[in-house]
């Protein structure tokens, strides 16, 4: 059980990081926060946080 949970956590973290990378590219291209949130499934607050990190 412990190993499966650890692997699941690693997989989820990898997916999250991939989505953050894509969101970062979208931000760099000047895309709208609402569209980014819709496509990535992130909240607007999360997209705004990512935008602040990039700029």
DSSP per-residue string spanning 21-39: HHHHHHHHTT--HHHHHHH
Band of residue 55 on the pLDDT scale cut at 50, 70, 90: confident
pLDDT at 26 over 90: yes
pLDDT score at 8: 93
pLDDT at 51 over 80: yes
Band of residue 34 on the pLDDT scale cut at 50, 70, 90: very high
Cβ contacts of 43 within 8 Å, gap of 6 or more: 37
């Amino acid at each position: 059980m412990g190993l499966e949970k650890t692997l699941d956590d690693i997989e989820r973290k990898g997916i999250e990081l991939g989505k953050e990378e894509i969101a970062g590219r979208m931000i760099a291209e000047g895309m709208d926060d609402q569209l980014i949130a819709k496509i990535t499934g992130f909240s607007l607050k999360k997209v705004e946080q990512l935008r602040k990190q990039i700029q």
